[in-house]
Amino acid sequence: MSNIVWHQKLDKEYRLDKTRSRGFVIWFTGLSASGKSTIASFIEKKLIDSGRMAYLLDGDNVRHGLCSDLEFSEEDRAENIRRLAEVAALFEDCGVIVLVSAITPLEDMRKLIRSKVEHLIMVYVKASLDTCIKRDPKGLYEKALKGEIKGYTGIDSPFEEPQDYDLILDTDKYDIMACADKLLEYIQGVM
């Protein structure tokens, strides 16, 4: 019996050839309550139902584990996005379609993502601040407006409207299903 030790790192081309699955990242940016996670969850299910390997990294959920040591300072928010981008790039490398739902409020953060991820679809889920405040499923805007939460994006922390995106989904004008259908059509064009 031979004891063979394997030390060769497999590259993307090898994985693609053997699995027939090219990974890419769909990054959803937008204000809290714009519809990012709702659309991303629907798209993840549709991709999995069609036989594709897909995984959703939701900003809120990731903050409870991988990023639980981070607060909401500007530096910690940037580190949170950097970690998400690094994890997304690893999943992408092994052939998974990664959906990332994270506010990603600053253009510098979105540039960092583009530098880390090889195949990226940047999706701006657009909704006005008034719409997001009305939706407010967690009551966080209300707390921020009362001063109970400091540094809340859109209230007393900036959200820079994306300048470099691949697709815009306007949830003020269109319902979630129409936005999801638009994204699915876009994805089919790049797969």
Domain coordinates in residue numbering, the chain: 12-190
Q: Which residues of 135-155 are buried (b: 16+ CB within 10 A; e: fewer)?
A: bbeeebbeebeeeebeebbbb
Q: Quote the DSSP letter at residue 73.
A: S
Digit-coded pLDDT (tens) for 156-177: 999 999 999 999 999 999 999 9
> What is the identity of the amino acid at 158?
P
Tell me the pLDDT of the chain averaged across its residues.
89
Residue 20 clears pLDDT 80, i.e. is over it? no
The CA dihedral of 89, 92, 98, 104, to the nearest 10 degrees, is 20
Residue tagged 């999943």 (tokens): 91
- Counting residues of the chain whose pLDDT is more than 90, the rounded percentage is 70
Residue 11 clears pLDDT 90, i.e. is over it? no
CB within 8 Å of 170: residues ≥ 6 apart: 126, 127, 179
Contact predicate 58/37, CB 8 Å = yes
pTM of the model: 0.89
Strand partners, 105: none
Three-state secondary-structure class, residue 104: coil
The CATH class of 12-190 is alpha beta
